[in-house]
Structure 1
C-alpha cells in the first residue's frame, strides 16, 4: 500500500468516526479508535444472518448493498441466490478478509478444506491451502495483505493456523474477558457444558453475573477506550450506556445474559464464539449458513456475484443509478454518524432504492437513530415496520444489540 493510499484510507475512517477536536478528550479517543479500526476488528461478524435474510426476503433478481465487516453475512446471503452483492468497508483488513473468503469458496477443492480454513481456522495445513489454491487467484492488494507481516514477523495468513477467531480487536477483547473471568474463578467455557436453557441461566446468575458487580469491572467499563475491542467508538458508547438504568455495566450485563441463556447453546454459534473461542465441534454444530456443508456448492457457484470494495456506503451509492438497489444492510454504522452524515446517506438510499426496497440495521440502544435526525421528507418515503422489527430483533442470536430495524420503500404515489 502506498503512502497516498494509506492516507486516503485513514481520512475515510476519520470521517466516519471523528466528531470532536483533537484537543478534547473525546476527540482524542475518537482518533485512537480510528487508528485501531485500520486493522482487523471483526474476525467474525456479530449480526444474525438468519434474521437478516428473513427481513430482506431476497429474490433471485435482487441487488444487495451491504457493509462487509467480517463478510460472514455477505457469504451467507449467497445461500439466498441474489443476483448481485456489493459489499463496502472502510477497513482494508475487512476487505482483504472478504476477498479471501470469496477466492476460497471459488477455488478450494471441497467443503472440507473450506471448513478447515474458516470453521476450524487453527490448522497448520491451512497455510498450504492458501498457497496452493487461493493465493494465485487474489488481486494484488489482497495478496499483499495476507502475505504481509505482523509486528511479530509472522505472515498474516498464519493466523488461520494459530486460531483466527482469537485475532483482531474483537478476538483479543473476548480473550481478555476470559482472563478477567478466570481471575474471578469463572471459566466461561464451563457454560458450554450446560444442556438446557435453564441450566445456562443458572450458570450465568451464579457464576458470571457477580463479575459485573465487582468494583474492578465497573471501573474498567467506565473507561470508553476499554470497549474499543467490541468495535464501539465513543459516540456509540454513550448510546449503549444510556440504554440501561445502571449505565454501561447494566447494558453489558443484559446483553451478556441474553447471549449466555437467551437461546439453546446447540442453536447459537455466537455463544460458542464468545464463551468457547470458536465454533461448536461435531457434525450437528450450529454454524453460519456459509459454513454449512449443504450450502457449500451454492456459495461456490454464487461467489462471483460479490464485489467487495474499500469505500463508504454513501460514496458508493452516490455513483449508482436511481432505483438500482433492492436491499441495504447498514449493520450498526448509523450509531457512529452525525445528523448530516445520516441525512446524506438516506438521501442516497432513497434515490437508489427500487420500489419495495428493504433497509435493515441494528442499534446499540433500542430506538432508531432516524426520527428527528434526518429530514421528514426522506423518512416519509419509507414504511418503518415496527412490530416486525421487534419480532426479528427478539430472534437475533448474537443478542448484543438493543434494536433491530426494518424499513420498506413506499410506492411513489403513496
Structure 2
C-alpha cells in the first residue's frame, strides 16, 4: 500500500463513494422488471427493449475512456461532480422519452454519466491502496453498493405497483441530485490525486499511457478475462426478466426476490475474496476462481439440456454458484490490473470499465436474438464466455511480469 492509509479519510467519504457506486445497479437493475411493460407501451420486441441496456453499456464505455484520463490530470473530484450533473439530466430525458429509439439514445447519455462516476471511484481506491489491501477496500465498498444490487429489482417491482416505468427513471433523477449534494458536502474537501502527482501528468501523452498498459501482460489478461466474464453475466441479466417471468412464470415481485438473491451472493463473494486475498496470492485467486466460474456455467448448461424437468430449481442452483464466484473474482481482477499503474490509475481504470461495458453491450441483446423462450441460449453464452476467460487467465497469468520503473505506483 502506498501513500495515506484509507483510515485517514473520514468514514463518510467511503460511505459516499459506496452510494455513488450504487448508480450502476440502480441504472441497470431498477427498471428490469418493467421490460415487459416497455415492450407493450412502445409495441416493440424483447430484443429491442434489451437495446436500452446496450445503449447504457456503450455510453459507459465512452464515459470511462474520457473520465479516467481526465481525472489523472485535473483531479478526481471535479470530473465526478460534472458526471453526476450529466447523469441527472439524462435520467430526466429517459423519464419523458417519447419512443424506444429516443430511450435507447438517452440511456447512452445516462451511461456516460454513470460510467464516469464508476471509473473515478476505482481510481480513488487505487490512489489509497493496492494488492490485497485494495481487494479488501473494494469489498467494503461493495457492502454499501451491494444493498442496492439486492434491493434495486425488488424496489422496481414494488414501485411498478404505484407508478409506471417512467416513474422509475424519475427516482433516478432524484437519486442523482442527492448524490451531487452529498459529493459537494463530503468529497470535495478530500482530493486523492494530489497536485504533485497531477503535475507529472502535465506533459504525459495519453497514447504513452495506453502503450504502457498494452505492454503489461498482467493488465491485458485481467481486463480481457474481466470483459468476458461481464459478457457472461450481462447475457443473463438482460434476459432475466423474460426468463423468470415468461418461461418460469414468476410475477414481478418473485422475480425481484430471485434477482436480489443474486445480488446478495455477489456481496458475499466479494467478502470471501477479501478474506482470501490476505492468504492467497491475488492472481492465483483470480485464476482459480475463473476455473470455478467456467465449471458452474457448464453445469448450468448441461443440466438444462440433460434434465429440463428440474425446472426453476435446476436453473437457480448453478446460477447462484456462478453469481457467488463472479463476486469473488471481480475485485481480484481489478487489483491485478491496476497493480503496476498507480501513476496512471484513471487511464488504467477507464480501460477496465470500457472493455467491460463493450462486452456487456454486445452480450445484452445476443440472447434475445437466439430467443428467450428457453434458458438454454443464455446458459450457452455464459458457458462460452466463462470458458474463454479461463483460457485468457491460464495463458496470461503463467509468469507475472516484473514491475517496470515507469509503471511503478505512486
- Fold match, TM over 0.5? no
**TM-score w.r.t. structure 1 length?**
0.27
As a proportion of its length, which structure holds more strand? 1
Give the number of the structure with larger relative contact order, counting CA–CA contacts within 8 Å between residues 6 or more apart.
2
TM-score by length of 2: 0.27
